[in-house]
Amino acid sequence: MITRWSRAEVGAELRGGRRLIKKPKSEAGIRTVSIPKVILAELTDHLTQYAESGPDGVIFVGPKGGRLRRHNFRKVWIAALVGAKITKSDVHFHDLRHTGNDLAAKAGATTRELMARMGHSSMRAALIYQHATRDRDRAIADAISDNVMKARADSGGDGAREGHAG
């Protein structure tokens, strides 16, 4: 069962169509990333049906099994969106990365943890995903209450003052 993924090379298509396989921009880009269990079945299916085989195989290939190029990527991406029943026309491939990192931040990942997952060596990019939201603010307040109530109960204090804001 796949629970982690790591890759030490990235591909780029240069002007004129030449492909370049190279190391990531920084050492932070060479990493192992844990995959949420909830998507393992879908990821395993994708790797079986749509990816090149072997440890060095690319994860996204064209309809005939070849490596995607700039000129044929959009057609494959639109077909994937249709297959996933995503009707918004402004969904981009990089949105997958953004969504995953946003979900990690909402799950409580620290800035350092986001940096490690994203493969970044600076905090600037990771901070983008740590949105301040009312839901998150409420969750923080609730967690503080829970911790104070537990501490009061453990020390024999009065835990019944929940909601006191003084």
What does the pLDDT average to over 60-72?
81
Q: In this predicted structure, what is the pLDDT of residue 5?
A: 47
**Cα–Cα distance measured from residue 133 to residue 140, given in angstroms and rounded to the nearest whole number:** 11
Q: The tokens 């609730």 sit on which residue? A: 142
More confident residue, 38 or 64: 38
| Whether the predicted pLDDT of 153 surpasses 90 | yes
What does the pLDDT average to over 120-149?
82
- For 29, how many CA atoms within 13 A lie in the half-sphere containing its CB? 9
